[in-house]
Amino acid sequence: MTTASHRGAVDTAVHKGLAGVVVDTTAVSKVVPETNSLTYRGYAVQDLAEHCGFEEVAYLLWYGELPDHAQLERFCQRERAARRANRSLLSLVTRMPDTCHPMDVVRTAISYLGAEDPAEDDNSPDANRAKALRMMAVLPTIVAADHRRRHGQDPIAPHSHLGFAENFLNMCFGTIAPRKLVKAFEVSLILYAEHSFNASTFAARVVTSTRSDIYSAVTAAVGALKGPLHGGANEAVMRDMLEIGDPALAERWLLEKLAKKEKVMGFGHRVYKNGDSRVPTMKQALLDIASATNGFKWVRMYEALEGAMAAATGIEPNLDFPTGPAYHLLGFDTEIFTPIFVMSRITGWAAHIIEQSESNALIRPLSAYTGVPQRSIVA
Ligand code: ACO
């Protein structure tokens, strides 16, 4: 591996979208598209999904190693103790227009948490891990309260005896979900947690590179994740499936879309060209959810679209494709799919923010000017 000096010769080639450009090193996760492999700190994501809880994965991303029993206990206790949103934060949520997208609420809430923190500008790794834990703990409370207010329901306070995933489901729906559904939901959180230099993580690293604070970096990342070419795709997938309505109509719908040269949401990936490494694990979670909720219509829809897309283009689904119907079957409104993605990806963003702070170089690329040549103002 070579590390080019940022003071070296200028590369004048234009790399639109930074495609194929290696901008820095990272020890957080590794994507190998050729073998469809994704590891967090060296562990295969499929193994983490099978054997670990979401809190263990968060710890792994932030500290570099899986926790032992005592470390996990302490970490979970701190997370559980930080779940409550104070009155001013909850009132901010309720004052947001209920016509706004829930991602706007998340973006504003993160920014507000920064404004509330007197040590906002302390960028030491320990301070950033503590702030990240607070964001990870309180975000589900905000997302659930927002979900409920849109249904005219009062918020449900977090329970400190429930795990992260189970507590969130309870705060949304007011019931303790069956273990199988909690596990399937937790698998989605583990798969969403981290994915190297994707657009939102890179946005967070750009902000961090200016020595700005973690809240500003996460706010920028939330904005990047909202877009339908990134995290917003999980919502778009479900909207498309609902529009199609009947799996028997899926192929015709898809072919019409492709004929109009439109993108089919939930398919394709900048890095994976032969299939997203996370999809088989998430598809199994979708099957588990469908069998517990009698939701096989959406599995048939999934398979009809997947088959038609493969036949027409050879393009494979990405993680957002199984996650969309899985979240729908769990009972979530479509608009909170991407906020749920934030609840998980905050862990990966924080790991990258800490890494960027520890080995920083201001991220400031060049551009090739294509405007009018220099000219004079005619007086
Ligand atoms: N539907 C239809 N055609 C597609 C799709 C798609 N979903 N994805 C790629 N293609 C086609 C493009 O039209 C293009 O064809 P062309 O060469 O004939 O013009 C070719 O495949 C290459 O596609 P690009 O968009 O140039 O590839 P890029 O690497 O820039 O895009 C992206 C990756 C943005 C994810 C793209 O596949 C896409 O828009 N997918 C839909 C949105 C989506 O699902 N995003 C979620 C990403 S994963 C995540 O955030 C968890």
Question: Cα(266) to centroid of ligand 1, in Å?
Answer: 9
Probe target for ligand 1 pocket from 45, 267, 306, with the most ligand atoms within 8 Å of CB: 267
Question: Cα(229) to centroid of ligand 1, in Å?
Answer: 8
Question: Cα(90) to centroid of ligand 1, in Å?
Answer: 38
Checking if the pLDDT of 228 tops 80, the result is: yes
Once rounded to an integer, what is the mean pLDDT over residues 66-77?
A: 98
Q: What is the DSSP string of 330-360?
A: HT--GGGHHHHHHHHHHHHHHHHHHHHHHT-
Once rounded to an integer, what is the mean pLDDT over residues 219-235?
A: 95
Active site residue 269: yes
Angle between the N-to-C axes of helices 102-116 and 125-149, in degrees from 0 to 180, rounded to the nearest 10: 140
- Residues 175-191 have pLDDT tens digits of 999 999 999 999 999 99
Q: Is residue 236 lining ligand 1, measured as CB closer than 6 Å?
A: no
pLDDT band of 379, cuts 50, 70, 90: confident
CA-closest candidate to residue 328, choices 300, 294, 298: 298
Asked whether the beta carbons of 231 and 342 are under 8 A apart, the reply is yes
Nearest CA owner, ligand 1 atom 21: 268
Asked whether the beta carbons of 93 and 149 are under 8 A apart, the reply is yes
The catalytically annotated residue of 147, 230, 269, 352 is: 269
Q: Is residue 232 lining ligand 1, measured as CB closer than 6 Å?
A: no
Probe target for ligand 1 pocket from 197, 262, 269, with the most ligand atoms within 8 Å of CB: 269
- Span 49-228+338-359: which CATH code? 1.10.580.10
**Which ligand 1 atom sits nearest the alpha carbon of residue 199?**
50
Q: Is residue 279 lining ligand 1, measured as CB closer than 6 Å?
A: no
Q: Is residue 267 lining ligand 1, measured as CB closer than 6 Å?
A: yes
- Residues 74-99 have pLDDT tens digits of 999 999 999 999 999 999 999 999 89
Query: Do 49-228+338-359 and 233-329 share a fold?
Result: no
Q: What is residue 271's DSSP assignment?
A: S
> What pLDDT is attached to residue 8?
64
40 DSSP β-pair partners: 29, 43
Checking if the pLDDT of 6 tops 80, the result is: no
Q: Is residue 270 lining ligand 1, measured as CB closer than 6 Å?
A: yes
> What pLDDT is attached to residue 4?
54
Domain ranges of the chain: 49-228+338-359, 233-329
Nearest CA owner, ligand 1 atom 39: 229
Question: Cα(19) to centroid of ligand 1, in Å?
Answer: 13
Residues 6+ apart with CB under 8 A from 115: none
pLDDT, greater one: 34 or 95: 95
The catalytically annotated residue of 147, 240, 320, 328 is: 320
Q: What is the DSSP string of 274-303?
A: S--TTHHHHHHHHHHHHHHHT-HHHHHHHH
pTM score, whole prediction: 0.95
Once rounded to an integer, what is the mean pLDDT over residues 237-252?
A: 98
Average per-residue pLDDT in the chain? 95
Checking if the pLDDT of 9 tops 90, the result is: no
Q: Is residue 18 lining ligand 1, measured as CB closer than 6 Å?
A: no
> What pLDDT is attached to residue 3?
57
- Residues 143-176 have pLDDT tens digits of 999 999 999 999 999 999 999 999 999 999 999 9
Q: What is residue 44's DSSP assignment?
A: E
Q: Is residue 229 lining ligand 1, measured as CB closer than 6 Å?
A: yes
Active site residue 320: yes
Question: What CATH fold (topology level) applies to the domain 233-329?
Answer: Cytochrome p450-Terp; domain 2 (1.10.230)
What's the token pair of residue 182?
Answer: 């909690």
Q: Is residue 233 lining ligand 1, measured as CB closer than 6 Å?
A: yes
**Which ligand 1 atom sits nearest the alpha carbon of residue 237?**
44
